[in-house]
Amino acid sequence: MRRIETIADVHEALDALCALDSRLVPVRVRAGDVPLRRTEPGFASLVSIVVSQQVSVASAAAILGRLTALCDPLTAQAIHAADDSLFREAGLSRPKQKTLRAIAAASMAGELDLDALCRLDAGEAIARMTAVHGIGRWTAEIYLLFSAGYPDIFPARDVALQSAVGHALGIVPRPAAARLAGLAESWAPHRGTAARLFWAYYRSMKGREGVTLT
């Protein structure tokens, strides 16, 4: 199945999703604009995703802004050579510092080729990414969705998606990751667009973004 490369691909997949599951028709109406959300694959893109973990969108943007100003260009070599004080000044937690250093080391050693990963089967790409310290499944899934346009990935561990799906479909309490992953199976092979739809729904529901625009 082709990748999600353009906003036209998103609209086509949304039409297919609504045909698959009529419950998504009102979700689409309330969600409004469903962004493409694509960025170039590579080290800087993965760094932005790591920075966004477990913080608000606004906080992630502020931290990333400081980091890119202090470490320009934002490359594996620059992160590898950076002093701990640079990370502290940017506002990065110690676990995230450790993760960025691990990603930089793996990239420099050729163990993590972020461009080549985008050409692999999703399962293999996720397995290779999560073999690196600090890269969990959510991080790998977000990278493949946003940086490579994989069409059928649904990050069920994402709290905003759990909240949005629970609210939209009347599931109380909101579905946990395992249940949400099961629910999302019915939206294959367009689960990547379903995730975009529910993030947009979350934005409408909460008045703020539920995932960083990398």
Q: Mark whether 160 and 140 lie in a shared domain.
A: no
Domain hosting residue 21, numbered range: 7-37+152-206
Each residue of 143-174: pLDDT tens digit?
A: 999 999 999 999 999 999 999 999 999 999 99
Predicted pLDDT of residue 56: 86
Q: Give the percent of the chain with pLDDT over 70.
A: 97
Give the model's confidence band at 137: pLDDT under 50 very low, under 70 low, under 90 confident, else very high. very high
Q: Give the integer Cα–Cα distance in Å for 201 and 28.
A: 8
Which CATH number fits the domain that encloses residue 198?
1.10.1670.40
Is residue 11 a part of any domain in this protein?
Answer: yes
Q: Mark whether 143 and 156 lie in a shared domain.
A: no
Q: Mark whether 84 and 106 lie in a shared domain.
A: yes
Each residue of 167-199: pLDDT tens digit?
A: 999 999 999 999 999 999 999 999 999 999 999
| Six-digit token string for 33 | 């604009």
Is residue 212 a part of any domain in this protein?
Answer: no
Predicted pLDDT of residue 210: 65
Q: Mark whether 30 and 74 lie in a shared domain.
A: no
Q: Mark whether 180 and 202 lie in a shared domain.
A: yes
Q: Mark whether 133 and 185 lie in a shared domain.
A: no
Is residue 213 a part of any domain in this protein?
Answer: no
Predicted pLDDT of residue 206: 84
Residue-wise burial string across 49-70, b where 16 or more C-beta atoms lie within 10 A, e elsewhere: bbbbbebebeebbebbebbbee
Each residue of 70-94: pLDDT tens digit?
A: 999 999 999 999 999 999 999 999 9
| Closest among 83, 80, 90, 84 to 51, alpha carbons compared | 90
Q: Mark whether 65 and 31 lie in a shared domain.
A: no
Number of domains in the chain: 2
Q: pTM for the full model?
A: 0.92
